[in-house]
Structure 1
Amino acid sequence: MTHTIEDRAGELLAGRVPFVRATVVRAQVPASARAGDDAIILADGTIEGFVGGQCTESSVRAAALGAMRDGESVLLRVLPEDAGPFPDTPGARVVVNPCLSGGAMEIFLQPRLPRPLVHVVGHSPIAAALAELGEPLGFEVVRAGTGTQPPATPSALVIATHGGDEPAVIRAALDAGVGWIGLVASPRRGAGVLAELTLTEAERARVSTPAGLDIGARTAAEIALSILAEIVQEVRAGRLAVPDREPARAPRLAVDPVCGMTVAVGPDTPHLVLDGADVWFCGPGCRDRYATTAGR
């Protein structure tokens, strides 16, 4: 059975692996790629699929790693040095690639990053509402007791059991490194639960009770909404990270000594080792030309 880019994207999403989906939107003859060609770019710069030759891949790799770091989609216009008429697209990022033999291209780069994982403990109506409302808000919600275990350490955990061994659950979550723990309880009962624990100041800051922003919520759905709103607030403020999403780093860049193009260094980037130093190139053509000049 043919393994498509769509299949691969599904595997990566299921495994909570960050990547960028690249799709050719327009391509001008004699570009080797065609509209609809697509590829996946991983965090190490590996490209799976096809969006053009080596020179195009260098531009795509650099832009994709930047898009992954920023979490923002990019419409990339890759133009040869002597680009002819090619309809402009407002808002597109333009890269002039001196190695292209011709054929301007537009490629849409969409970062696909792991969603914040929220683990919900309990079988109450509030727990059910959290699962229902969390998905549209961009969270991956896993409920305890459903036979499905969280695929990673959750970003947030909500305890909606209305009793039980809540101190033990909180202690285990803190020790596991969960960034935000919400306890659904009245102020009085919540204070009583916390009194059973010995918490550092930093640990206490990670526990919210009563969980949720004060919006005057009454129904289970409204309470769930207030809890998710508090989690969104934590995410947007940068206080709640996604534990299994490695912080995206700026790509390592190098300048091709032949054509002067800036390239992102990855496992597939052509290079030579000269006098013990790595020299990186946009493609094998520039590499071979440089090797010949250097007497290699």
Structure 2
Amino acid sequence: MNGTTHDVRLRAEQLIGERRPFVTATVVRAQQPTSAHPGDTAIVFSDGTIEGFVGGQCAQNSVREAARGALDSGESVLLRVLPDGAPPFPKTSGADVVVNPCLSGGAMEIFLEPTLPAHVLSLYGDTPIADAVVEFARVLDLDVVRSSAAEAVTEDATAVIIASLGGEEALTIRAALDAGVQYIGLVASRVRGAAVLEQLELTDSERARVHTPVGMYIGAKTPAEIALSIVVDVVRAIRLDGVSVARNDPVATTALDPICGMTVTINADTPHLEDDGVDVWFCSPGCRHKYEKT
């Protein structure tokens, strides 16, 4: 493992601890005269910032675009970057093919692997059901945050489960709704759950976010079975309904290169010039030079 790869892995561990989403980009194939080599690695953020090396400026533009897609989908992708005029390459499942008109020649394959923060499950209550929820959630790599204070609802929670079987349940539901949590589960019978919700003035959209009785119906009776039904329904909501915490990642600003038509990410290093008071952005100094000559 070379020094750069080692540095990228250390940086990745730091970002995971900070709960910051990123993409690890690794060059797996590179043909001359590309400047990248197999094994070159970088970290790519949602705003287009790249830490590390996966090729020159032209290749980086393609990587930035594909990395944003990987972060949005949460799925890894193999990016094939071909120079303009290369023979057509069939698109296969899990692979994206882009023709980069400013690539100097050769082809590249870059594996993009997104890393997103683990889903956070905020859990309220000190009961056998709550204890069992913790055990199941941790097996599934959910980050569990336990609290007894309603006002401590975390804004980065994907789901809030109230398994206190009493106490300030209505207050906790309201705090979770105000924090923007999309999945809120109350452990209660239908009758008691309805009574708790009657204490709140809920809009239709807010009511849709509160699940009571919480959990997928499996005929659960024991605390462990009830906890299993709860965690199963949280996973269903995440995987099938798209429930997640709203990410406030910096969004990249992009522009269209008027020469080659590429979408470029605007940052401090992006070539540009001012034309009649309008900023014009380019994928490379070569395209900027062509624009200046027109």
Query: Given that residues 182 and 208 in structure 1 are in contact (C-alpha distance below 8 angstroms), is that contact kept between their aligned partners in structure 2?
Result: yes
Instruction: Considering Cα pairs closer than 8 Å and 6+ residues apart, tell me whether 1 or 2 has the greater RCO.
Output: 1
TM-score by length of 1: 0.82
User: Structure 2: any 5+ residue segments left out of the alignment?
Assistant: none
What is aligned with 1:18?
Answer: 21
What is aligned with 2:277?
Answer: 276
Query: C-alpha offsets along residues 211-251 of structure 1, whole Å, 9 cap, x if unaligned?
Result: 111111233332222112222333345463412x1489797
Query: Given that residues 33 and 50 in structure 1 are in contact (C-alpha distance below 8 angstroms), is that contact kept between their aligned partners in structure 2?
Result: yes
Query: Given that residues 142 and 150 in structure 1 are in contact (C-alpha distance below 8 angstroms), is that contact kept between their aligned partners in structure 2?
Result: no
In 2: Cα distance, 1:104 partner to 1:55 partner: 12
In 1: Cα distance, 2:46 partner to 2:209 partner: 30
1:46 aligned onto 2:11? no
In 1: Cα distance, 2:26 partner to 2:211 partner: 42
Q: How many residues are paired up?
A: 286
In 2: Cα distance, 1:16 partner to 1:144 partner: 20
Q: CA deviation at 1:110?
A: 1.8
Change (3 A) 1:205 1:93: closer
1:98 aligned onto 2:101? yes
Query: C-alpha offsets along residues 252-283 of structure 1, whole Å, 9 cap, x if unaligned?
Result: 341341xx251332314322121122222222
1:252 aligned onto 2:254? yes
What is aligned with 1:222?
Answer: 225
Amino acid paired to 1:27: A
Q: CA deviation at 1:192?
A: 3.3
Query: Given that residues 91 and 97 in structure 2 are in contact (C-alpha distance below 8 angstroms), is that contact kept between their aligned partners in structure 1?
Result: no
TM-score by length of 2: 0.83
In 2: Cα distance, 1:106 partner to 1:219 partner: 52
CA-atom RMSD in angstroms: 3.1
Amino acid paired to 1:158: I
**2:179 counterpart (164, 176, 181):** 176
What is aligned with 1:123?
Answer: 126
In 2: Cα distance, 1:178 partner to 1:48 partner: 32
In 2: Cα distance, 1:48 partner to 1:57 partner: 11
SS in structure 2 at match of 1:202:
helix
Identity of aligned residues (%): 54
Amino acid paired to 1:166: E
**1:113 counterpart (108, 111, 116):** 116
SS in structure 1 at match of 2:274:
strand
Query: C-alpha offsets along residues 165-187 of structure 1, whole Å, 9 cap, x if unaligned?
Result: 22222222223222221111233
In 1: Cα distance, 2:278 partner to 2:141 partner: 45
SS in structure 2 at match of 1:4:
helix
**2:10 counterpart (7, 23, 32):** 7
Q: CA deviation at 1:4?
A: 1.8
**2:75 counterpart (72, 75, 82):** 72
Q: CA deviation at 1:138?
A: 5.5
Amino acid paired to 2:106: G
In 1: Cα distance, 2:206 partner to 2:153 partner: 22
Amino acid paired to 2:62: S
What is aligned with 1:285?
Answer: 286
Q: CA deviation at 1:65?
A: 1.8
What is aligned with 2:266?
Answer: 266
In 1: Cα distance, 2:266 partner to 2:71 partner: 15
Query: C-alpha offsets along residues 30-55 of structure 1, whole Å, 9 cap, x if unaligned?
Result: 32222221112211111111101111
Q: CA deviation at 1:107?
A: 0.2
